[in-house]
Amino acid sequence: MEETVRAELTEALRPLTKRKELAEDVPMSRYTTLGIGGPAEMLCEITSADQLLEILRIAQRLGVTVNILGGGSNLLVRDGGWPGLTLHFGDGFAEITSPVPLPDGRFAITAQAGTPLTRLSGVAADAALCGLEFAAGIPGTVGGGVLMNAGAYGGELQNIIEGVTCATLAGEIRHYTRAEMDFGYRRCRLSAPDAERELVVSATFALPPGDEDTIRVTMREFNARRREKQPITLPCCGSTFKRPPGQFAGALIDQCGLKGLRVGGASVSTKHAGFLINDEDGTAADYLVLMREVQRVVLQQTGVLLEPEVHIAGVDPPAQDA
Ligand X SMILES: Cc1cc2nc3c(=O)[nH]c(=O)nc-3n(C[C@H](O)[C@H](O)[C@H](O)COP(=O)(O)OP(=O)(O)OC[C@H]3O[C@@H](n4cnc5c(N)ncnc54)[C@H](O)[C@@H]3O)c2cc1C
Per-residue exposure over 234-262, b if at least 16 CB sit within 10 Å of its own CB, e if not:
bbbbbbbbbbeeeeebbebbbebebeebe
> Candidates 144-152, 250-258, 264-272, 283-291 — which segment interacts with ligand X by CB under 6 A?
144-152
Give the interface segment with ligand X, choosing from 47-55, 132-140, 206-214, 246-254 (CB under 6 A).
132-140
Which residue in 106, 178, 186, 243 is the catalytic one?
186
Residue 161 binding ligand X, by CB under 6 A: no
Which residue's CB is nearer to ligand X, number 145 or number 282?
145
Total residues contacting ligand X by CB under 6 A comes to 30
Window of 136-144, 168-176, 247-255, 266-274 that interacts with ligand X by CB under 6 A: 136-144
Cβ neighbours of 108 (radius 10 Å): 17
User: At closest approach, how far in Å is the CB of 186 from ligand X?
Assistant: 6
Residue 151 interacts with ligand X (CB under 6 A): yes or no? yes
Residue-wise DSSP of 221-270: HHHHHHHHHS-TTSS--S-SBPPPTTS-HHHHHHHTT-TT-EETTEEE-S
Marked catalytic residue, from 239, 243, 267, 269: 239
Given candidates 13, 130, 150, 261, which one binds ligand X under the rule CB under 6 A?
150
User: Is residue 309 within 8 Å of 34, Cβ to Cβ?
Assistant: no
Per CB under 6 A, 70 contacts ligand X = yes
Residue from 111, 75, 67, 66 nearest 91 by CA:
111
DSSP code for 38: -
309 part of the active site: yes
141 part of the interface to ligand X, by CB under 6 A: yes
